[in-house]
Amino acid sequence: MRKSTSPRRQKGAVIVTTALVLLFLLGFMGIALDFGHLFIVKTELQTAMDSCALSAAQELDGQSTALTRATNAGMTAGNLNRVNMQSTTWSGQGQIVAADITFRDSAYAVTTTPAAARYAQCQHTQSNVVTRLLQAMGGFTGDTAANPATRPVAAMAVATRASAQTTCPIPVAMKPKAGGTAPDYGFTVGEWVTLINAQNASAGGEIGWANLDGTNSASETEAELNGHCGTRVGDTLGTPGVQTSVADVWNARFGIYKNTGSPAINHPDFTGYAYTAANWPAGFNAYNGTPGAGAPASAQNFVTKRAAFASCADTGTRVRGANSCESITGLSLNSFQDLAAPGNTTGGHMQYGANRRIVTVPVINGAAQVIDYACMLMLQPLTVPMSNVQLEFRGNAGAAGSPCTTSGLPGGSAGPLVPVLVR
């Protein structure tokens, strides 16, 4: 005759089974929540590395300051992202520093030579991402080594520059000089070209306002100066009239603002130092040349001023008066009151600067259709009341040594070089 099972023994078995099931469920919860957390951090960190690499690659123009600019641009762009559950401080685990950004040559060997750098690599590790449930499970099982309190999360991105199929030019257009053909259309690298602030683009190789969307609206010109992407070879451009409001967004690239603007919102270039006959009597090659006889002692080329994060007033912040932007350039900046601060520690050009004065300009034919792109340096802010302003021709935007980059869509066989992720 079989003996009946004791109810007390059955209760003991249920307790053991329940404990095992709870442990099993805790493990699944740890996997679902903690690994989900790690996955989110990894995704956020990868986005930051992508931003860092693209911004750094954009500055690889072969100039002597390229790596310094690329490092600053990479850190600025990458650290604007939020990491570790959208934390602005990355949960105190450390953000991108200069050591996280390295450069590679065409053979993908590490290089510190600006002229040889072809790739920008950003790599960063968040060392102590908390995994609370896995830690609790480790304490329950006694296996804390396999279930640590924190885990590292790493991400890496590599970017280079390649030809674009769409571009992000400013809303001006250039006509070839008489008889001028590709790639430079009759212009000389370093030549100063006058932008006519009038209704139509001027003839004879000069340049004029040209709306990228084909309209004639002055308000559209202002909007496109804030960023317009999608222009392609073959597009027909418009010829707008220009209102003084265009000066606000143009001058912001020089770090020059009215009392409602600031570099934190309207980002300037890395330098606001401007070039006119007053401080650059050579009238040629302000990008990396010499100022010529009669120039003031403080006059230096754009590459040098950019490395120093100089303002329009050089080392000062005055729009007018002695040692001011107006006194250096001889321009009239009525209604503008503020300059972004200079300097390589906390200045506005260093903190918020970007590649904003080396610009892409469409080259058009007689029917106002885009046939190519030129690279130009914005030399001067716009005056109030408005008068002619000059830009410097820096060659075809698609040339191998061109300092021009844009945020257009990569994948073209010609045109300006754009940053593109390769890894």
Encode pLDDT of 338-365 as tens digits: 999 999 888 999 999 998 999 999 999 9
With a cut of 50, say whether residue 47 has pLDDT above it. yes
According to the model, what pLDDT value does residue 245 have? 81
Tell me: pLDDT of 139 over 60: no
Instruction: Please tell me the predicted confidence (pLDDT) of residue 241.
Output: 75
Residue 205: Cβ within 10 Å count:
18
Looking at residue 242, what is its pLDDT?
A: 77
253: pLDDT strictly greater than 80: yes
| R_g of the chain, CA atoms, integer Å | 28
pLDDT for 407 beyond 80:
no
- Count of all residues that appear for the chain in the document: 423
Q: For the chain, give the mean pLDDT.
A: 87
Going by pLDDT thresholds of 50, 70 and 90, the confidence category of residue 22 is low
pLDDT tier, 5 (very low <50, low <70, confident <90, very high otherwise):
low
pLDDT at 199: 47
Residue 205 has a pLDDT of 62
With a cut of 50, say whether residue 111 has pLDDT above it: yes
Query: pLDDT higher for 393 or 151?
Result: 393
Per-residue pLDDT averaged across 270-291, rounded?
A: 96
- Averaged over 214-236, what is the pLDDT? 89
Task: Say yes or no to pLDDT of 144 above 60.
Answer: no
- The larger pLDDT score, comparing residue 352 to residue 244, is at 352
Is the Cβ–Cβ distance between 382 and 246 less than 8 Å? Answer: yes
Mean pLDDT value across residues 236-256: 90
pLDDT of residue 32: 66
**pLDDT band at 398; cut points 50, 70, 90:** confident
Q: How many angstroms separate the Cα of 102 from the Cα of each of 94, 127, 193?
A: 18, 20, 37
Instruction: Report how far Cα 94 is from the mean position of its chain's Cα atoms.
Output: 22
Which residue's entry shows tokens 């300006």? 416
Q: How confident is the model at residue 131 (pLDDT cuts 50, 70, 90)?
A: confident
Is the pTM higher than 0.85? no
Query: pLDDT (tens digit, 9 = 90+) per residue, 304-315?
Result: 999 999 999 999
C-alpha to C-alpha distances, 51 to 31, 307, 419, nearest whole angstrom: 29, 22, 10
Q: Are 168 and 375 in contact (CB under 8 A)?
A: no
pLDDT of res. 18 = 67
Q: Please say if the pLDDT value at position 189 is more than 90.
A: yes
